[in-house]
A = this chain, B = another copy of it.
Amino acid sequence: MTVYAGQGDPRRSLTLLWGAPEEVRTGRSGPKPGLSVDAIVSAGIAVADADGMAALSMRAVGERLGRTAMALYTYVPGKAELLDLMHDRALAELPGGATAFDDWRAAVTNWAEQLYDCYLRHPWMLQVSQARPVLGPAELAAMERLLTALQPAALSPERLRGAVAALWQFVRGTAAATADARGAAAATGIADEDWWAARSARLAELAPDFPERFPLLTALQSATGGAPEDSGREVFRTGLAVLLDGVAAGAPGQGARDRAPDMAADTTPDSPDTA
């Protein structure tokens, strides 16, 4: 399932992403443009938000704007580039202010939760190729904000790069898991939790030797009461705590002191989650 098609020309995307916000259009002949790149991007996001990535077609976007599919090609080179623009626009939702936090753990946690929520608001973003080289301004701004949050940890450049990659990918991955469980639940009309139960039951039926083949998986499942790879803010939170402990371990000087102050306390099983 879930294919993604070819990339757009990164040159075109880059130009559109970074292009002058107010193109100097003095003395243009021809009829006045009834649309704009911005309007098309907004319409695309609206379609994708409402009906999912599969429903995002040039026709659908055009229709939402009262035009034909081909009208969009006056503004945008193609669908791939439109997706690049949509992706960056959605990331631009992230709050940009330099929020001051006492410690960098809280700052990074805040950053991660904002990104996580943004992905869940726009699940189609998770279908856009990660880490593809078309870097938009909003994406870079988000990365800059992460670097700002991490600055007090004073990591070495190499370690900083590793931490940034690990954090971003972790947020994206856990958001994808959650979004997917949600989507499946919504599609089948089953409640979130029941869905995993149904899947487990079916698995047990098909592979009766499951507990012997996967003893640790079975143990983990029964210990935490859910599917191991699944969803949920809880996995997000505890995973993030693990990650941040790793970052702290690389912070010079403070070493052992800065590690897991109260973030690790989140991992106690009695925490009231889904907040």
A157 interface neighbour in B3, B8, B18, B223, Cβ under 8 Å: B223
The majority secondary structure among interface residues of chain A is helix
Is there an interface contact between B234 and A133, defined as CB atoms closer than 8 Å?
no
Quick one: given A3-B83, A168-B173, A249-B245, are A147 and B206 in contact (CB under 8 Å)?
no
User: Contacts A148-B216, A242-B249 given; 9 further ones with Cβ under 8 A?
Assistant: A3-B128, A6-B52, A18-B207, A158-B224, A162-B241, A163-B242, A165-B236, A245-B249, A250-B267
Is there an interface contact between B11 and A1, defined as CB atoms closer than 8 Å?
no
In the bound complex, residues from chain B placing their C-beta under 8 Å from that of A249 are: 242, 245-246, 248-249, 259-260, 264
Number of copies: 2
A151 interfacial by beta-carbon distance below 8 Å:
yes
A161 interface neighbour in B53, B54, B228, Cβ under 8 Å: B228
- The range of chain A's interface size is 35 or more
Is there an interface contact between A245 and B250, defined as CB atoms closer than 8 Å?
yes
